[in-house]
Structure 1
Amino acid sequence: MTDKSNTPAEHKDTWQTPPEIFRALNAEFQFQLDAAASTHNALCRKYITAEQDTLKTEWGDYVENGYVWLNPPYSAPLPFVEKAGKEKELNHVGCVMLLPADISVGWFKEAVKTASEVRLITGGRLAFISSQTGKPVGGNNKGSLLIIWHPWPTGSCQFKTVDRDQLINFGKRLMERAA
């Protein structure tokens, strides 16, 4: 029996995007970079680790006329939202960011100032993947949304919805075809 008393508790900030969700979105955006990853959970061939600090790294060094995937730490999303807006403006790098569906917070107000689109994920909550076990975890107490910065000028932010189950099923089909 293993003594787990010294094992640190897993923090929600380390939860990984459900692979079906990523696969479905990747079909649309063809991500060139996972901007908040580790060697164990990177979803793209190119990725930026916490040690490399995505907030200080120029995404344009990794991306050319395309998109970054970003599932930032939910405990402090504002700096990542600001970074995505700056990267769009300065380097013409697009970003798709997965965040909790909470429009009452300051980071959301900041995001809609620079984002091209907000997609509310309807029909249920996402089951994120544990960084310790690699299995889906419960405990996601909010819905989710996608904030999208296109790499070109888009005018005001558009609001749309996407059904969670449709995203998951589409992503699963893509994964089955690739297997």
Structure 2
Amino acid sequence: MRSDFGGSDTPVNIRDLWQTPFNIYQNLNDEFNFVGDVAASDINHLHMNYLTEEDDALTTDWNSVFGSGYKWCNPPYSDIGPWIDKAASERSLVMLIPADVSVGWFKKALATVDEVRLITGGRISFVRADTQEPQNGNNKGSMLLIWHPRRCEDSPRFTTVDRNELMDRAMVSVL
């Protein structure tokens, strides 16, 4: 079910185009060595190889586009469910999503995901598509869902990572 973003003052045409802060992406890229971004746009992509809405990532074979290796995904938050389904079938994916364990897509993810990393220590200030500036006021925390190439266990491992450590470690690696 699609969200109506109740209370959002973001213009409708850019509500699904928020960009992950580069430092967070870079830190995760250092760990996973991403081969592509499966849910991007020409304005918000962080990897040189990416799929846009026009490429229809949900019906595209990601391995045929990017080869083997981990893919990055910051999906449109208005409809996360189909991205969970696709990740379960494709695997090798790191997905950044709202930390909301009360929704159906989270329960569905638990059946196939290998790791859930809750991001603690504050909310992420995503980059707004029209201004290219980080925007405070994110109304939810965030988490990472990680699908490894092969299913590791019957149930996912739960860990935490501090938002500031994600930002700081990435800044060191970029310098």
TM-score by length of 2: 0.90
Task: State which of 81, 93, 107 in structure 2 corresponds to 1:78.
Answer: 81
Of structures 1 and 2, the larger Rg is shown by 1
Separation in 2, partners of 1:25, 1:54: 21
Q: What is aligned with 1:68?
A: 71
Aligned residue among 141, 144, 149 for 1:143: 141
Matches of residues 91-110 of structure 1 in structure 2 within 5 Å?
94-110=92-108
Q: Which residue matches 1:45?
A: 48
| The structure with more strand, counted as a fraction of residues | 1
1:9 Cα deviation (Å)?
5.1
Opposite residue 171 of structure 1, the aligned amino acid is: A
How many Å separate the matches in 1 of 2:46 and 2:64?
18
- The whole-number CA distance in structure 2 between the counterparts of 1:10 and 1:23 is 27
Residue 13 of structure 1: how far off its partner (Å): 1.5
CA RMSD of aligned residues (A): 1.2
Which of residues 150, 153, 169 is equivalent to 1:152? 150
Cα distance in 2 for residues equivalent to 1:13 and 1:40: 12
Q: Provide structure 2 residue ranges, at least 5 long, that are not aligned to the other structure.
A: 1-10
Structure 2 residue aligned with 1:27: 30
Asked if 1:132 is matched to 2:135, the reply is no
Contact preservation (8 Å) 2:115, 2:158: yes
Residue 166 (str. 1) matches residue 165 (str. 2): yes
In 1: Cα distance, 2:15 partner to 2:29 partner: 23
Give the aligned residue type for 1:35.
V
Give TM-score, length-normalised by structure 1. 0.88
Unaligned runs of 5+ in 1: 1-7, 89-93
Provide the C-alpha distance between the structure 1 equivalents of 2:148 and 2:49, rounded to a whole number of angstroms. Answer: 19
Q: Equivalent residue of 1:173, what SS? A: helix
SS of residue matched to 1:99: strand
Letter of the 1:134 partner, please give it.
Q
Q: Is the 8 A contact 1:32 1:62 kept in 2?
A: no
Question: Displacement of 1:10 after TM fit?
Answer: 5.5
User: Aligned pairs, how many?
Assistant: 164
